[in-house]
Amino acid sequence: MTAIHIDACPICEGMKFTPFLACRDNLATYKNFSLVRCESCGFVLTQNFPDENEIGRYYDVPEYISHSDTQKGIVNLLYHFVRKLSLRSKAGLVKKVSGKTTGDLLDIGAGTGYFLNRMKTDGWKISGVEKSASAREYAEKKFCFTIHPPEYLPQLPECSQDIVSLWHVLEHLEKLNETMQIIHKLMKDNGTAIIALPNLNSVDARYYKENWAAYDVPRHLWHFSPDVMKILAEKHGFCITAFKPMYFDVFYISMLSEKNRGSSSLVGLLKGFVFFLRSLSGISKCSSVIYVLKKAGDC
Protein backbone atom coordinates (compact mmCIF):
# COMPACT_ATOMS: atom_id res chain seq x y z
CA MET A 1 0.00 0.00 0.00
CA THR A 2 1.20 3.50 -0.87
CA ALA A 3 0.49 5.42 2.32
CA ILE A 4 0.02 9.17 2.68
CA HIS A 5 1.86 10.46 5.73
CA ILE A 6 0.79 13.91 6.89
CA ASP A 7 3.71 16.02 8.11
CA ALA A 8 1.88 19.35 8.40
CA CYS A 9 -1.70 19.90 9.54
CA PRO A 10 -3.81 20.83 6.48
CA ILE A 11 -5.73 23.37 8.54
CA CYS A 12 -3.12 25.28 10.54
CA GLU A 13 0.15 23.86 9.14
CA GLY A 14 1.23 22.76 12.60
CA MET A 15 4.00 20.15 12.61
CA LYS A 16 3.37 18.40 15.92
CA PHE A 17 0.85 15.58 16.36
CA THR A 18 -0.05 13.44 19.34
CA PRO A 19 -1.64 9.97 19.20
CA PHE A 20 -5.43 10.09 19.47
CA LEU A 21 -6.88 6.61 18.77
CA ALA A 22 -6.13 3.37 16.94
CA CYS A 23 -9.19 2.32 14.93
CA ARG A 24 -9.91 -0.77 12.85
CA ASP A 25 -11.22 -0.91 9.30
CA ASN A 26 -14.36 -2.95 9.95
CA LEU A 27 -15.49 -3.27 6.33
CA ALA A 28 -12.66 -4.31 4.03
CA THR A 29 -9.30 -5.27 5.54
CA TYR A 30 -9.79 -5.34 9.35
CA LYS A 31 -6.45 -3.58 9.71
CA ASN A 32 -5.74 -0.88 12.28
CA PHE A 33 -5.11 2.75 11.39
CA SER A 34 -3.80 5.50 13.65
CA LEU A 35 -5.60 8.75 14.32
CA VAL A 36 -3.51 11.71 15.46
CA ARG A 37 -4.40 15.16 16.77
CA CYS A 38 -2.69 18.40 15.78
CA GLU A 39 -1.26 20.03 18.90
CA SER A 40 -1.86 23.53 17.48
CA CYS A 41 -5.51 23.52 16.35
CA GLY A 42 -6.88 20.19 17.60
CA PHE A 43 -7.67 18.76 14.16
CA VAL A 44 -7.76 14.95 14.11
CA LEU A 45 -6.70 13.03 11.02
CA THR A 46 -6.06 9.47 9.89
CA GLN A 47 -2.32 8.99 9.52
CA ASN A 48 -0.75 6.85 6.76
CA PHE A 49 -3.96 6.42 4.78
CA PRO A 50 -4.03 4.88 1.24
CA ASP A 51 -3.52 7.29 -1.62
CA GLU A 52 -6.22 8.05 -4.20
CA ASN A 53 -5.05 5.30 -6.55
CA GLU A 54 -5.42 2.57 -3.92
CA ILE A 55 -8.23 3.62 -1.62
CA GLY A 56 -10.94 2.44 -4.00
CA ARG A 57 -10.70 -1.15 -2.77
CA TYR A 58 -11.70 0.00 0.71
CA TYR A 59 -15.05 1.14 -0.71
CA ASP A 60 -15.62 -1.88 -2.95
CA VAL A 61 -17.60 -3.91 -0.43
CA PRO A 62 -21.37 -4.63 -0.45
CA GLU A 63 -21.78 -3.17 3.05
CA TYR A 64 -20.70 0.29 1.88
CA ILE A 65 -24.26 1.47 1.36
CA SER A 66 -23.74 4.93 -0.15
CA HIS A 67 -22.18 3.24 -3.19
CA SER A 68 -23.95 -0.14 -3.29
CA ASP A 69 -27.45 0.87 -2.07
CA THR A 70 -27.81 -2.55 -0.46
CA GLN A 71 -30.87 -3.29 1.70
CA LYS A 72 -29.38 -6.39 3.30
CA GLY A 73 -29.67 -6.47 7.09
CA ILE A 74 -31.59 -4.44 9.65
CA VAL A 75 -29.02 -1.63 9.78
CA ASN A 76 -29.27 -1.00 6.04
CA LEU A 77 -33.06 -1.26 6.10
CA LEU A 78 -33.07 1.45 8.76
CA TYR A 79 -30.74 3.52 6.60
CA HIS A 80 -33.21 3.38 3.69
CA PHE A 81 -36.12 4.34 5.93
CA VAL A 82 -34.26 7.28 7.43
CA ARG A 83 -33.06 8.39 3.99
CA LYS A 84 -36.66 8.93 2.87
CA LEU A 85 -37.19 11.23 5.82
CA SER A 86 -33.85 12.98 5.46
CA LEU A 87 -34.32 13.72 1.75
CA ARG A 88 -37.41 15.74 2.62
CA SER A 89 -35.49 17.48 5.40
CA LYS A 90 -32.50 18.24 3.14
CA ALA A 91 -34.72 19.70 0.43
CA GLY A 92 -36.39 21.93 3.00
CA LEU A 93 -33.04 23.03 4.38
CA VAL A 94 -31.75 23.98 0.92
CA LYS A 95 -34.75 26.21 0.33
CA LYS A 96 -34.56 27.76 3.79
CA VAL A 97 -30.86 28.64 3.82
CA SER A 98 -30.73 29.79 0.20
CA GLY A 99 -34.02 31.69 0.16
CA LYS A 100 -34.70 30.09 -3.23
CA THR A 101 -37.20 27.55 -4.49
CA THR A 102 -35.15 26.76 -7.62
CA GLY A 103 -31.65 27.43 -8.90
CA ASP A 104 -28.36 25.78 -9.81
CA LEU A 105 -27.27 23.03 -7.44
CA LEU A 106 -24.04 21.03 -7.43
CA ASP A 107 -23.75 17.92 -5.26
CA ILE A 108 -20.16 16.77 -4.68
CA GLY A 109 -19.97 13.10 -3.76
CA ALA A 110 -23.44 12.41 -5.11
CA GLY A 111 -23.31 8.66 -4.45
CA THR A 112 -26.25 6.84 -6.04
CA GLY A 113 -28.09 10.07 -6.81
CA TYR A 114 -31.05 10.10 -4.42
CA PHE A 115 -30.54 13.68 -3.22
CA LEU A 116 -30.02 14.99 -6.73
CA ASN A 117 -33.15 13.23 -7.89
CA ARG A 118 -35.18 14.84 -5.10
CA MET A 119 -33.87 18.30 -5.99
CA LYS A 120 -34.49 17.73 -9.71
CA THR A 121 -38.07 16.74 -8.89
CA ASP A 122 -38.39 20.00 -6.94
CA GLY A 123 -37.35 22.00 -10.00
CA TRP A 124 -33.66 22.63 -9.39
CA LYS A 125 -31.09 22.55 -12.19
CA ILE A 126 -28.80 19.82 -10.93
CA SER A 127 -25.25 18.64 -11.52
CA GLY A 128 -23.25 16.13 -9.55
CA VAL A 129 -19.86 14.48 -9.28
CA GLU A 130 -19.01 11.08 -7.82
CA LYS A 131 -15.77 9.10 -7.89
CA SER A 132 -17.35 5.64 -7.81
CA ALA A 133 -18.16 4.43 -11.33
CA SER A 134 -20.62 1.84 -10.02
CA ALA A 135 -22.54 4.49 -8.07
CA ARG A 136 -22.69 6.73 -11.16
CA GLU A 137 -23.97 3.84 -13.26
CA TYR A 138 -26.61 3.01 -10.66
CA ALA A 139 -27.87 6.61 -10.65
CA GLU A 140 -28.06 6.75 -14.44
CA LYS A 141 -30.08 3.54 -14.61
CA LYS A 142 -32.41 4.42 -11.75
CA PHE A 143 -32.92 8.14 -12.30
CA CYS A 144 -31.99 8.69 -15.97
CA PHE A 145 -29.51 11.50 -15.40
CA THR A 146 -25.73 11.66 -15.56
CA ILE A 147 -23.46 12.06 -12.56
CA HIS A 148 -19.94 12.99 -13.63
CA PRO A 149 -16.52 11.87 -12.38
CA PRO A 150 -14.62 14.48 -10.30
CA GLU A 151 -12.66 15.61 -13.37
CA TYR A 152 -15.87 17.38 -14.43
CA LEU A 153 -15.55 20.08 -11.76
CA PRO A 154 -13.09 22.32 -13.67
CA GLN A 155 -15.57 22.43 -16.58
CA LEU A 156 -18.13 24.26 -14.46
CA PRO A 157 -18.08 28.07 -14.80
CA GLU A 158 -16.92 30.18 -11.89
CA CYS A 159 -19.67 31.66 -9.71
CA SER A 160 -22.26 29.38 -11.31
CA GLN A 161 -23.87 27.59 -8.36
CA ASP A 162 -26.55 28.76 -5.96
CA ILE A 163 -25.96 25.67 -3.81
CA VAL A 164 -22.90 23.43 -3.42
CA SER A 165 -23.63 20.45 -1.17
CA LEU A 166 -21.40 17.78 0.35
CA TRP A 167 -23.36 15.28 2.44
CA HIS A 168 -20.78 13.33 4.46
CA VAL A 169 -18.19 13.73 1.71
CA LEU A 170 -15.50 16.23 2.77
CA GLU A 171 -14.08 13.77 5.31
CA HIS A 172 -13.29 11.39 2.40
CA LEU A 173 -11.41 13.80 0.12
CA GLU A 174 -7.61 13.75 0.12
CA LYS A 175 -7.31 17.28 -1.29
CA LEU A 176 -9.05 19.04 1.58
CA ASN A 177 -7.88 22.61 0.98
CA GLU A 178 -8.21 22.33 -2.78
CA THR A 179 -11.81 21.18 -2.38
CA MET A 180 -12.65 24.17 -0.20
CA GLN A 181 -11.12 26.47 -2.80
CA ILE A 182 -13.19 24.85 -5.56
CA ILE A 183 -16.38 25.27 -3.54
CA HIS A 184 -15.64 28.98 -3.04
CA LYS A 185 -14.82 29.42 -6.72
CA LEU A 186 -18.02 27.78 -7.97
CA MET A 187 -20.45 29.49 -5.61
CA LYS A 188 -22.35 32.52 -6.84
CA ASP A 189 -22.17 35.69 -4.80
CA ASN A 190 -24.68 35.09 -2.00
CA GLY A 191 -24.56 31.38 -2.85
CA THR A 192 -24.57 28.75 -0.13
CA ALA A 193 -22.47 25.72 0.69
CA ILE A 194 -23.99 22.95 2.79
CA ILE A 195 -21.48 20.56 4.34
CA ALA A 196 -22.50 17.65 6.58
CA LEU A 197 -19.84 15.97 8.72
CA PRO A 198 -19.54 13.54 11.63
CA ASN A 199 -18.73 15.26 14.92
CA LEU A 200 -15.96 13.65 16.95
CA ASN A 201 -17.01 15.66 20.01
CA SER A 202 -20.48 14.09 20.02
CA VAL A 203 -21.77 12.09 22.96
CA ASP A 204 -21.76 8.86 20.93
CA ALA A 205 -18.19 9.43 19.67
CA ARG A 206 -16.97 9.96 23.23
CA TYR A 207 -18.80 6.83 24.38
CA TYR A 208 -17.71 4.44 21.62
CA LYS A 209 -14.16 5.80 21.24
CA GLU A 210 -12.20 3.58 18.80
CA ASN A 211 -15.38 1.64 17.94
CA TRP A 212 -17.28 4.73 16.82
CA ALA A 213 -18.46 3.82 13.32
CA ALA A 214 -18.10 7.38 12.01
CA TYR A 215 -14.32 7.22 12.27
CA ASP A 216 -14.67 4.71 9.40
CA VAL A 217 -10.94 4.36 8.71
CA PRO A 218 -9.35 4.58 6.23
CA ARG A 219 -12.28 5.91 4.18
CA HIS A 220 -12.58 8.91 6.50
CA LEU A 221 -9.32 10.81 6.30
CA TRP A 222 -10.30 13.85 8.37
CA HIS A 223 -12.29 14.03 11.61
CA PHE A 224 -14.05 17.28 12.42
CA SER A 225 -15.57 19.14 15.32
CA PRO A 226 -17.55 22.40 15.02
CA ASP A 227 -14.62 24.46 16.33
CA VAL A 228 -12.16 23.01 13.81
CA MET A 229 -14.62 23.33 10.93
CA LYS A 230 -14.99 27.02 11.76
CA ILE A 231 -11.21 27.46 11.42
CA LEU A 232 -11.16 25.67 8.06
CA ALA A 233 -14.11 27.69 6.72
CA GLU A 234 -12.58 31.03 7.68
CA LYS A 235 -9.23 30.00 6.19
CA HIS A 236 -10.91 29.73 2.78
CA GLY A 237 -12.97 32.90 2.87
CA PHE A 238 -16.20 31.54 4.32
CA CYS A 239 -18.23 32.25 7.39
CA ILE A 240 -20.52 29.68 8.97
CA THR A 241 -24.01 31.17 9.20
CA ALA A 242 -25.71 28.16 10.81
CA PHE A 243 -24.99 24.86 12.53
CA LYS A 244 -27.78 22.31 12.04
CA PRO A 245 -28.17 18.91 13.74
CA MET A 246 -28.61 15.62 11.89
CA TYR A 247 -30.56 13.89 14.63
CA PHE A 248 -31.27 10.64 12.79
CA ASP A 249 -27.57 9.87 12.19
CA VAL A 250 -26.98 8.86 15.79
CA PHE A 251 -29.27 5.82 15.51
CA TYR A 252 -27.54 4.44 12.41
CA ILE A 253 -24.06 5.21 13.75
CA SER A 254 -24.82 3.66 17.14
CA MET A 255 -26.09 0.46 15.52
CA LEU A 256 -22.92 0.18 13.44
CA SER A 257 -20.77 1.02 16.47
CA GLU A 258 -22.38 -1.77 18.49
CA LYS A 259 -21.69 -4.12 15.58
CA ASN A 260 -18.04 -3.07 15.77
CA ARG A 261 -18.10 -4.05 19.45
CA GLY A 262 -19.68 -7.43 18.67
CA SER A 263 -23.05 -6.43 20.10
CA SER A 264 -26.55 -6.31 18.55
CA SER A 265 -28.29 -3.72 16.40
CA LEU A 266 -31.09 -3.51 18.98
CA VAL A 267 -28.63 -2.44 21.67
CA GLY A 268 -27.32 0.22 19.28
CA LEU A 269 -30.83 1.44 18.54
CA LEU A 270 -31.61 1.81 22.25
CA LYS A 271 -28.34 3.56 22.99
CA GLY A 272 -28.86 5.78 19.95
CA PHE A 273 -32.11 6.99 21.51
CA VAL A 274 -30.26 7.89 24.72
CA PHE A 275 -27.58 9.76 22.74
CA PHE A 276 -30.31 11.51 20.74
CA LEU A 277 -31.91 12.82 23.94
CA ARG A 278 -28.56 14.01 25.24
CA SER A 279 -27.79 15.78 21.96
CA LEU A 280 -30.89 17.94 22.31
CA SER A 281 -28.96 20.09 24.79
CA GLY A 282 -26.56 21.46 22.18
CA ILE A 283 -25.17 21.16 18.67
CA SER A 284 -21.72 20.18 19.99
CA LYS A 285 -23.18 16.89 21.26
CA CYS A 286 -24.81 15.83 17.96
CA SER A 287 -23.42 12.82 16.11
CA SER A 288 -23.39 14.73 12.80
CA VAL A 289 -23.55 18.45 12.09
CA ILE A 290 -24.60 20.37 8.99
CA TYR A 291 -22.56 23.55 8.39
CA VAL A 292 -24.13 26.31 6.30
CA LEU A 293 -21.43 28.46 4.68
CA LYS A 294 -21.53 31.78 2.86
CA LYS A 295 -18.70 33.70 1.28
CA ALA A 296 -17.26 36.03 3.90
CA GLY A 297 -18.39 39.12 1.99
CA ASP A 298 -21.99 37.91 2.02
CA CYS A 299 -22.25 37.35 5.78
Up-side HSE of residue 261: CA atoms within 13 Å toward CB? 18
Amino acid code (one letter) for 20: F
**Structure confidence at residue 295 (pLDDT):** 97
Please state whether the peptide bond connecting residue 157 to the residue before it is cis, i.e. omega within 30 degrees of 0. Answer: no
Three-state DSSP class for residue 257: helix
Three-state DSSP class for residue 251: helix
> For residue 226, which of 245, 213, 209, 207 has the smallest C-alpha distance?
245
Q: How many C-beta neighbours within 10 Å does residue 5 have? A: 7
* Dist CA 66 CA 107 (whole Å): 14
CATH code at position 155: 3.40.50.150
**Structure confidence at residue 75 (pLDDT):** 58
Residue 164 falls inside a structural domain: yes
> For residue 23, which of 48, 54, 52, 55 has the smallest C-alpha distance?
48
Three-state DSSP class for residue 101: coil
Compute the Cα dihedral for 279, 84, 118, 140 and give only its sign.
positive
Phi, psi of 269 (to 5 degrees): -65, -45
Residue 51 falls inside a structural domain: no
Distances (CA, A) of 73 to 147, 164, 168: 28, 32, 22
Q: Are 160 and 125 in contact (CB under 8 A)?
A: no
Walking along the chain (299 residues) 10 residues at a time, the average pLDDT comes out as 92 98 95 97 97 85 57 59 83 96 97 96 97 93 96 95 98 97 97 98 98 97 98 98 94 95 94 97 97 93
Q: Are 181 and 236 in contact (CB under 8 A)?
A: yes
* Dist CA 273 CA 2 (whole Å): 40
Residue 82 falls inside a structural domain: yes
Q: Are 288 and 170 in contact (CB under 8 A)?
A: no
Residue 10 falls inside a structural domain: no
**Gyration radius from the chain CA atoms:** 18
* Dist CA 234 CA 12 (whole Å): 11
**Residues in a beta bridge with 24:** 32
> For residue 208, which of 250, 160, 242 has the smallest C-alpha distance?
250
User: Which residues constitute the domain of residue 128?
Assistant: 66-298
What pTM, to 2 d.p., does this model score? 0.93
Residue 85 falls inside a structural domain: yes
Residue 54 falls inside a structural domain: no
Q: Are 7 and 15 in contact (CB under 8 A)?
A: yes
Residue 177 falls inside a structural domain: yes
Q: Are 185 and 19 in contact (CB under 8 A)?
A: no
The total of structural domains in the chain comes to 1
Residue 200 falls inside a structural domain: yes
